[in-house]
Amino acid sequence: MITLIKYHPAFGLPDPSPFCLKAEILLKLAGVPYRVEPVNDPGRGPKGKLPAIVDGGTTLGDSELIRLHLERTTGIDFDAGLSPAERAVAHAFARMLEERTYWVGVYMRWIEPAAWAVVRETFFGGLPPVVRSLVPMLVQRRIRRTLHLQGLGRHSRDEIYGFGIADFRAVAAHLADRPYFMGSRPTAVDATVYAMIAAIVVPDFASPLKDEALRHANLVAYERRMRAQFWGAPVAAAA
């Protein structure tokens, strides 16, 4: 059976990491038996990030490599029924959300003071007194540096949220009134779209990006539908 190595639930989400949410939805879509191993340490992934899976003798990290592994080993085509042009659209939206919008969410959680206070307490509040103040400071410094190297961290707060808002507007416009992102059945991109929207609208972190998401009734309804379908959890209103 496949083991999904992921984080513990947090902030009202089954996993605080959108990539771990994505990987778990892909496992559910593939219909393969799996178990989850929630951990705190991303070092448990072979590349120092999560999600990761262990499948027999194979351990691999990265949600997209997990997708390719599932397609290779089960024969499933997550995007069955999509034309080459539709596959290209799905690919482009997924990469936009994972490679840009995600970083706006990182800024929102790890840099914005109000959210950071909650994030710091959630992830590091259980550490012994001295390390409890030191470790979060070092982690936040590393994330600030990562955002600077990635590029987003060089922009003003308004510019950063402006990028995320443009991304969510594009997602809302494309989703329109479809049940799933590419039509009447879920495809791989739904794992990403759901995860990236949920990561912003579910946690109780106020931000212009969350305000924008909540302005799009179709995004809010989509997140609730996907949550109910894939997690079966009681559907609470987004805060």
Long-range contacts of 173-179 (CB under 8 A, 24+ apart): 174/89, 174/93, 175/218, 175/219, 175/222, 176/218, 177/218, 179/225
Q: Does 198 bind ligand GSH (CB under 6 A)?
A: no
**Strand order of the sheet with strand 58-61?**
34-39, 2-7, 52-55, 58-61
Q: What is the smallest separation between the CB atom of 163 and ligand GSH, expressed in angstroms?
A: 18
Query: Nearer to ligand GSH by C-beta: 16 or 186?
Result: 16
Count of chain residues binding ligand GSH (CB under 6 A): 10
Site for ligand GSH in 122-161 (CB under 6 A): none
Query: Nearer to ligand GSH by C-beta: 165 or 195?
Result: 195
For the four alpha carbons of 99, 101, 103 and 106, in that order, the dihedral sign comes to: negative
Site for ligand GSH in 50-89 (CB under 6 A): 50-51, 62-64
Site string for ligand GSH, 15-54 (x = CB under 6 A): --x-x----------------------x-----xxxx---
Query: Nearer to ligand GSH by C-beta: 42 or 208?
Result: 42
- Assign residue 75 a region (left: φ > 0; alpha: ψ between -120 and 50; beta: otherwise): left
| Type of residue at 102 | Y
DSSP assignment of 39-80: ES-GGGSTTSSS-EEEETTEEEE-HHHHHHHHHHHH---TTT
Q: What is the smallest separation between the CB atom of 139 and ligand GSH, expressed in angstroms?
A: 8
Query: Nearer to ligand GSH by C-beta: 19 or 78?
Result: 19
Query: Nearer to ligand GSH by C-beta: 9 or 48?
Result: 48
Q: What is the smallest separation between the CB atom of 238 and ligand GSH, expressed in angstroms?
A: 20
Query: Nearer to ligand GSH by C-beta: 106 or 225?
Result: 106
Give the span between the Cα atoms of 230 and 126, in whole angstroms: 30
Q: What is the smallest separation between the CB atom of 199 and ligand GSH, expressed in angstroms?
A: 9
34-39/2-7 β-pairing: parallel
Q: What is the smallest separation between the CB atom of 104 and ligand GSH, expressed in angstroms?
A: 13
Dihedral of the alpha carbons of 43, 45, 49, 52, in degrees to the nearest 10: -150
Query: Nearer to ligand GSH by C-beta: 72 or 83?
Result: 72
Question: Please, are residues 189 and 175 in contact by the beta-carbon 8 Å criterion?
Answer: no
Residues that bind ligand GSH (CB under 6 A): 17, 19, 42, 48-51, 62-64
